[in-house]
Amino acid sequence: MHLHRASAETLSPNEATLAELLAEQMGIQVGHRPSASEKHSWERSIPALRADLISAGLGQVEMLLEYRLPLTSKRADVILAGRHPRTNRPSYVIIELKQWSQAKRLEDSETLFRVAPHHTREYLHPGLQVDGYCDYLADFTTHLAETDHSLVGAAYLHNADDAGVADILAAPSGTRSRVFTGQRRGEFITFLQAHLAPLPGHDVADALLSSAVAPSRHLLKVAADEVQRQEMFVLLDEQRLAYEEVLHAVSEARSADHKTAVVISGGPGSGKSVIALSLMGELARQGRSVLHATGSRSFTLTLRRVAGARAPKVQKMFTYFNQFMDAEKNGLDCLILDEAHRMRETSVQRYTPKAQRLRARPQVEELLEAARVPVFLLDDHQVVRPGEQGTADEIDRFAREKGLDVRRISLDDQFRSGGSELFVSWVQRTLGLVPDGEFKWPGDERFELLTASSPAEMEAWLRGRAEEGETARIAAGYAWPWSDAPKDGALVPDVVIGDWARPWNVKGERAVGGAPPAALWATDPNGFGQVGCVYTAQGFEYDHAGVIFGPDLVWRDDRWVAVRDANKDPDFKSRKTVGDDVFDKLVRNVYKVLLTRGMKSVVVFSTDAETQAHLESLIPRAGGTRR
């Protein structure tokens, strides 16, 4: 949770010794040493804060250096822990140390600044940064939610005078934070004395460090209103059954000290995410501690955007599978694991701290232990990436080995693809994912399935639907290279089929030339015009879906053939880690996911002539067709 802890009196006054101590701890905990600039910052900033604390008579206050905020990799520079001078209650002051000497705001902005000498990037107002740290810590630390306390923050620009950062001082700061310059050192010392008494703070620091992590009741109240205003979701049949089963399990877990894992399986559009959001809203209203997690960045960012549109705090309740490595056992009443088929073998990644790597466990074990009632929502046929291990049978087996009761629920009804069970069956049988063999599409008044003779015809047909005010996207198998956007901001048209060429969706988190960030490709209207891949389409739906079969899955004689060398997905590159049989299954699942994104129609095209002919033998043509 932090790199080093000491009182101001006992903290080493030697700049180099202190910086090296922190660097060693970072190497142990995080797995890599700090950059030269970060180490230099420690050498200059922390001794300055230490000197001010001693000058203020606060040498016994505890300093938690590089404190990691719960369920995130973000770190606050310093948290001061002590007693409030007026109430004697626990008092915490979050300090963000900046070596800035000059900063200018961006035109027409009071929150973004350019800081010398780093003129090529923007920085958030440091007061707002600290304010966010305060709110986050209060929202997810049980000790702060249950104990009367004081929590404030300050950004300390100890190298700056007022003139150099006048734009920052003139802009509104946060509600919990203040900004001080080196010129205002006296005011900073007075601020510290107003919130911390000259008393030992070790017990106050202990309480914070040992606190459980869970959303506060205030945050739950906000989430209840935001996630499910006026019970806007209507749950039918198996959906309602699954919902009630989870609520019962949570109630039982508290009253009878009983732990249950719930596994909810369903195909695309069966309502898994609707159940998840309904449970979030209801459990929050009941005051239960609940979080939502997925393994998909696109899906999580979109849920944050939608469910937390009016309340940014709620966005923090939507997190990722790999953020529970250090979670307290049964610390939550309920943990909702949406898209659980995307679970990995472990939560370890390149940025995982070394200490966590050494005690890594299976990810499913971490998630099972994090809540009294872990809820897994999944589709066994949506495993599309090597290393994804979330199947209903595997979760069931692991939970029972841990001595847990398991409730399994199947969502049989179909809500995506126009409610057409026939279409989902056609996809699964055509791709050979279930037995019984393929069949010619007989038509369904609730859903339209068509072929296009070219990607241009497909795009024209979909554009017509978009011009009518409906949503439409083209997605493809990962069978073309994927270039980084050049510095001029124009996406590279990597998906080339004859004289038709379009770019993939944006790779990163920033819009490029009008195209939305990757996480918003499926939901932002400007996503039309780029080709999506399975990683940006999975978990989403749109009215009309165009699916391009690339040369990585072709029809030969009487069967599908997976062509490994035609696939460009770097996750599939190694034959050692992904055998040919695994690749064959995964690439079929990829196309199954892409084909089941459309709510009203799907139009398909293959770049391979034999495959296109086979599809046309099963599906009617799109040219000139109107719904």
Angle (CA) 432-433-439 rounded to 5° is 45
The Cα diameter of the chain in Å comes to 85
If DSSP codes are grouped into helix, strand and coil, which group holds residue 94? strand
* DSSP percent split of the chain into helix, strand, coil, nearest 5: 40, 25, 35
* CB distance 294 to 539 below 8 Å: yes
Q: How many CA atoms lie within 13 A of 411 on its CB side?
A: 30
Percent of the chain with pLDDT over 70: 88
- Predicted confidence (pLDDT) at residue 542 exceeds the cutoff of 80: yes
Helices 297-307 and 272-285 cross at an angle (nearest 10°) of 50
User: How confident is the model over 285-305, as pLDDT tens digits?
Assistant: 888 999 999 887 777 777 777
**45-73 average pLDDT score:** 91
Of the pLDDT bands very low, low, confident and very high (cuts 50, 70, 90), residue 34 is confident
The least confident of 170-184, 442-456, 506-520 is 506-520
**324-343 average pLDDT score:** 89
- Predicted confidence (pLDDT) at residue 232 exceeds the cutoff of 70: no
DSSP state of 594: H
- Which neighbouring-strand residues pair with 346? 362
The least confident of 328-337, 350-359, 376-385 is 350-359
- Predicted confidence (pLDDT) at residue 180 exceeds the cutoff of 80: yes
φ and ψ at residue 108, rounded to 5 degrees: 65, 20
- Predicted confidence (pLDDT) at residue 312 exceeds the cutoff of 80: no
Instruction: Match 């006296």 to its residue by tokens.
Output: 186
pLDDT reported for residue 618: 93
Q: Which residues contact 358 (CB under 8 A, 6 or more apart)?
A: none
- Predicted confidence (pLDDT) at residue 626 exceeds the cutoff of 60: no
User: Mean pLDDT: which of 200-204, 300-304, 442-446 is highest?
Assistant: 200-204
**545-556 average pLDDT score:** 96
Sign of the four-CA dihedral 563, 566, 572, 574: positive
User: How confident is the model over 90-107, as pLDDT tens digits?
Assistant: 999 999 999 999 999 887
* CB distance 532 to 505 below 8 Å: yes
* CB distance 554 to 611 below 8 Å: yes
The C-alpha atoms of residue 357 and residue 343 are separated, in whole angstroms, by 17
Of the pLDDT bands very low, low, confident and very high (cuts 50, 70, 90), residue 89 is very high
The C-alpha atoms of residue 25 and residue 524 are separated, in whole angstroms, by 43
Q: What is the dihedral of CA 360, 363, 367, 370, to 10 degrees?
A: 0
- Minimal CA–CA distance to 370: which of 219, 207, 261, 246? 261
pLDDT reported for residue 225: 64
Strand locations in 212-294 (E) = 260-266, 290-294
Residue 458 CB neighbour total at 10 angstroms: 24
Tokens encoding 405: 């009761």
pLDDT reported for residue 478: 94
- Predicted confidence (pLDDT) at residue 40 exceeds the cutoff of 80: yes
- Predicted confidence (pLDDT) at residue 627 exceeds the cutoff of 50: no
- Minimal CA–CA distance to 277: which of 238, 228, 229? 228
**504-519 average pLDDT score:** 86
Question: 606 vs 28, which has greater pLDDT?
Answer: 606
Amino acid at 350: R
The least confident of 3-12, 44-53, 128-137 is 128-137
Question: 412 vs 118, which has greater pLDDT?
Answer: 118
Helices (H) then strands (E): counts for the chain: 19, 24
